[in-house]
Amino acid sequence: MRHCLALMALLLSLPLHAAQLHLELGDLSRTWSSSELLGHSQVQDIRIDQDVSYKRPMRYRAVPLATLLEGVGADDHLQAVALDGFAAEMPAGPLLSTGPARAWLAVEDPAQPWPALAKGKPSAGPFYLVWTHPQAGGIRPEQWPFQIATIRRMAPVEQRFPALLPDPTLPANDPVRQGFALFQQNCLVCHRLNGAGDAQFGPDLNVPHNPTEYFQPGYLRQYIRDPQSLRQWPQARMPGFGEGVLSDNELDALLAYLGHMAKRRP
């Protein structure tokens, strides 16, 4: 019995296994382990003044993301896929920039795990895309994907998912077109629409029904701003989109796109 307890104590004291990050970038694809990244020649300690996920200042060991994106050009499109199915669509340009807003891949050390995101939830690891000086680049919260498993180069959303496109006859300056861009940035990471999208996280926003059809307009705006103010339950995962993330004009455009797409089901 004493030997069993000693063995159990030893096992519990051992660090967690190193995680793996898969980069699917075409011919230059490769897999990095967390131990390899923690030993990378450009890894360094960084401070994030206001971390989007932890809601407080944080420090990380991190690698400039651009150094891992060999062969990727500024006009390319990337997708970061998380362990839970969250799929962030991101143009490569900002990720390759050296500043002032700069993207970093924070790497969780298995021997020194990060804190849980909330009670009963895991940490943001093993890999977390964070930004220094994000305000300088207009970086949105959905551009901070955590628990990343894979980063891959993809065709742009418009090419992969034509079912998401608004009516092509709309003028270039129509708010619906702006709403489509905002939908890609803020909603497509979790939701599909018309069955189109890669996320496996939230429900489809047009099939069988569009939220503009079953929410009163004021309540729909309130739900997007603060979901818990309408429906409270411990397992709720949708974040609120305050005015610092979506201005009132941007929210108007997003709702215009959703309302438009309610008439464009397959």
Domains of the chain: 16-154 (3.90.420.10), 158-261 (2.60.40.420)
* Model confidence pLDDT, tens digit, residues 67-103: 999 999 999 999 999 998 788 888 999 999 998 999 9
Q: Residue 182's pLDDT is what?
A: 93
**How far is the C-alpha of 165 from the C-alpha of 177, rounded, in Å?**
9
Please say whether the beta carbons of 202 and 238 come within 8 A.
Answer: yes
Amino acid at 108: E
How far apart, in whole angstroms, are the C-alpha atoms of residue 142 and residue 188? 10
The pLDDT of residue 6: 43
* DSSP secondary structure code for residue 33 in this structure: E
Nearest to 96 by CA among 112, 109, 78, 118: 78
Cα–Cα distance for residue pair 198/192, rounded to 1 Å: 7
What CA–CA distance (Å, rounded) separates 142 from 75?
A: 20
Percentage, residues of the chain above pLDDT 90 = 70
Q: What is the pLDDT of residues 124-141, one digit of tens each?
A: 999 999 999 998 988 888
Burial of 146 (0-12, 13-18, 19+ CB in 10 A): buried
Buried/exposed code over 78-108 (b: 16+ C-beta within 10 A; e: otherwise): bbbbbeeebbbbbbbebbbbeeebbbbbbbb
Q: How many CB atoms within 10 Å of residue 184?
A: 21
Please, how many CA atoms are within 13 Å of residue 188, restricted to the half-sphere of its CB?
Answer: 28
Q: What are phi and psi of 62, to 5 degrees?
A: -145, 155
8 A C-beta contact, residue 175 and residue 161: no
Residue 146: closest CA among 11, 54, 48 = 54
pTM of the model: 0.77
Residues forming a β-bridge with 47: 59
* Tens digit of pLDDT at every position of the chain (266 positions): 444 444 434 333 334 567 999 999 988 889 999 999 999 999 999 999 999 999 999 999 999 999 999 999 999 999 999 998 788 888 999 999 998 999 999 999 999 999 999 888 899 999 999 999 998 988 888 889 999 999 999 998 889 999 999 999 999 999 999 999 999 988 988 899 999 988 777 899 999 999 999 999 999 999 999 888 887 776 667 878 888 888 999 999 999 999 999 999 98
Half-sphere exposure of 184 (CA within 13 A, CB side): 22
Rounded Cα distance between 54 and 174, Å, is 36
Cα–Cα distance between 143 and 78 in angstroms, integer?
11
3-state secondary structure of 20: strand
Q: Alpha helix (H) ranges present in 117-195?
A: 157-160, 175-186
Closest CA relative to residue 80, chosen from 29, 134, 4, 149: 149
